[in-house]
């Protein structure tokens, strides 16, 4: 019980933090899309899990994985960013 408490309070388990920008794990297509999104006022950050979050004030955040496992992933993300941009 005591050991569980110490790990939960920051003992031996490290806490992953958000990082601005992208990690090296992000695919080429996701990097290109992030570059365009930042030019349109979106903020891009890498979460502790490795996922990538696109945020903009007044818009809902969009989260995707760092690699495009399906060919539709980038197209769906691009369409979602365009929909959020238009609203």
pLDDT of amino acid 19: 62
Distance between CA atoms of residues 46 and 71, nearest Å: 21
**Does the CA dihedral 34-35-38-43 come out positive or negative?**
positive
Residue 10 lies in a domain: no
Q: Are 74 and 31 in contact (CB under 8 A)?
A: no
Quote the pLDDT of residue 62: 92
The pTM is what? Answer: 0.70
Give the domain extent around 60. 18-86
Positions of the chain with pLDDT lower than 50, given as ranges: 1-13
Asked whether residue 31 is domain-assigned, the answer is: yes
pLDDT value, residue 16: 59
Q: Does residue 63 form part of some domain?
A: yes
Q: What per-residue confidence (pLDDT) applies to 23? A: 64
pLDDT tens per residue across span 36-50: 999 999 999 988 888
Residue 53 lies in a domain: yes
- The count of structural domains within the chain is 1
């Amino acid at each position: 019980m005591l050991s569980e408490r110490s790990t939960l309070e920051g003992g031996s388990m490290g806490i992953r933090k958000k990082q601005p920008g992208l990690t090296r794990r992000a695919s080429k297509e996701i990097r290109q899309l992030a570059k365009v999104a930042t030019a349109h006022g979106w903020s891009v950050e890498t979460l502790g899990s490795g996922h990538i979050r696109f945020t903009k004030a007044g818009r809902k955040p969009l989260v995707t994985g760092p690699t495009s496992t399906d060919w539709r992933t980038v197209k769906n993300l691009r369409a979602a960013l365009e929909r959020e941009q238009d609203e």
